[in-house]
Amino acid sequence: MADESGDPETPAFRFTDFSYTYPQGTKPALTDITLTIPQGECVLVNGTTGAGKTTFCLAAAGILCHEYEGKMDGTLSIFGRDVNGYEDMGDIGRKIGVVFDDADAQLIFTTVEEEVLSGLENRGLEPEDVQKRLEDMLAFTNLTGLRYRPPHTLSGGQKQRVSLAATLASGTECLILDEATAELDTMATESIVAILTKLKDAGKTIIVVEQKPRELESIADRVITIRDGRLAKDETAKEFFATYTDETEIPGDMVDTTAIARQGEPRVGVHNLVHSYGEAHALTGVSLDIYPGELVAIIGENGSGKTTLVKHFNGLLRPTSGTVTVCGMNAADERVTRLAQKAGLVFQNPDTMLFEDTVEKEMQFGMKNIGIDPSDAQARIKDVLTMVGLGGRSSQFPRAMSRGERQRLAIACVVAMKPDVIILDEPTTGLDPEEADRIMGILQSLSAAGHSVVMVSHDMSMVKRHAQRVIQMDSGAITSDRTRINGGAA
């Protein structure tokens, strides 16, 4: 595949002694990166949370140079042209498409079809060609049946496929994916890998940040490891996977939850819950009870109804029919602010919750909204930050923290409001195993303290190691509800 000058030997990327420091940063986020990526190569970017993987992607995409105001040293060329020689991101966008882990941030139109069309509109195509390419791209990403759905009604995995389709529609030579499969179940991840395989066969250059590298073993040519902002290792995929081992999944003996005698009243009661998005039925008669001290994992394929179910617990969604009670309150009749005092939700992407300029202000915001006395706030903030491993960080700018730290801060913001029920949507998404274990340790502590903890998750290793109860969903219904009889890991 040739570059702008027609030379297929020109690399897609060449970093030379490249360093970058964010505008508010006290040290470089990337340091002395020297690396060449040939055209047509598939490169996996490996490293722990906060190592600099996302910053590397932002650099490769030209975003650091053209959208940020930090300090950049060294050089970076993209398809044979210095990154500073591109006019703007629109110019670079003709070569490079980017799909980040936060699909919501990339979806702005009212239907799936409009999102995909947005990637075609600036390509100078004839109307009949636009229509053909639209149909091809919808089919390519298995979105034909969702073309008229509003993106905000889709599951996390479906949204990610829409973002990918819109990016691919623009016809770029290179695709950069930063944790693009982090929110996807096994089946959806396999479909994305199949798409990437076709792109690689077509000669596209692919850079992927991925915490589940085994899923991409079949297409990876090379693996680079970033540690503390430096290029720590550069090896062939064969060398990397020869020593790579997946985290062992620990099985557990479980019994049907209905066979277990319960004491007291449930914190959450769901009875014959139905929820519809227009003509589409997301929940079809769900019933369950959740008790104090339980750590419950809700699993299932994308679109099975998991997130739709838990959004009823704090009033973000209201039943089409059926009832949901939370701590004795009918969730359909209560204000969201009232329900938030009893059921706190930590969103899938912590950045949707964080907007203040210090950690302390982030935590104060939620407590103020539910009427917590300011005189009690300081001591509570200190205690909760210590609990989540962020003690002494109250004055830090949240956006400068790593993904794992931001996730812990989002949990802290909810815990500080002392809700009886804590709901988390994909709490370990995009985290390395060490950080994911740390998050799960926090959730186990909250469960042991008497909170009802409910998490939606695709991370079966974390589920099997830590959850006390596992509820499986499919097509809007519960297909299995099993509990670890000794209260340990599922």
pLDDT in tens, 202-233: 899 999 998 778 888 999 999 999 999 999 99
Most confident of 129-133, 382-386, 398-402: 382-386
Report the candidate in 166, 118, 115, 119 with the shortest Cα–Cα distance to residue 140.
Answer: 166
Per-residue pLDDT tens over the stretch 297-310: 999 887 889 999 99
Could you tell me the pLDDT band of residue 128, with boundaries at 50, 70 and 90? confident
Calculate what percentage of the chain has a pLDDT beyond 90: 45
- What CATH number should be reported for the domain holding residue 351? 3.40.50.300
Please give the average per-residue pLDDT across 321-325, as a whole number: 96
Looking from the CA of 321 toward its CB, the CA atoms found within 13 Å total 5
Same domain (yes/no): 311, 212: no
Q: Which of 197, 219, 243 corresponds to the end of one domain?
A: 243
* Burial grade of 23 (CB within 10 A; 0-12, 13-18, 19 or more): exposed
What CA–CA distance (Å, rounded) separates 224 from 44? 6
Q: Which residue has the higher pLDDT, 312 or 371?
A: 312
Q: How many domains does the chain have?
A: 2
pLDDT at site 104: 74
Task: Report the predicted TM-score, pTM, of the whole model to 2 decimal places.
Answer: 0.63
Does some domain include residue 249? no
Residue 327 has pLDDT above 60, yes or no: yes
pLDDT tens-digit map of 164-190? 888 888 778 899 998 777 666 677 778
What strands, in cross-sheet order, belong to the sheet with 295-300? 254-256, 477-484, 469-474, 295-300, 452-456, 421-425, 343-346
Report d(CA 109, CA 104) in Å as an integer.
Answer: 11
In a domain, 2, yes or no: no
pLDDT reading at 444 higher than 90: yes
Domain range holding 56?
A: 13-243
End-to-end CA distance of the chain: 49
Same domain, 323 and 212: no
**Residue after which a domain boundary falls, among 215, 243, 271:** 243
Residue corresponding to tokens 């302390």? 360
Confidence of residue 374 (pLDDT cuts 50, 70, 90): low
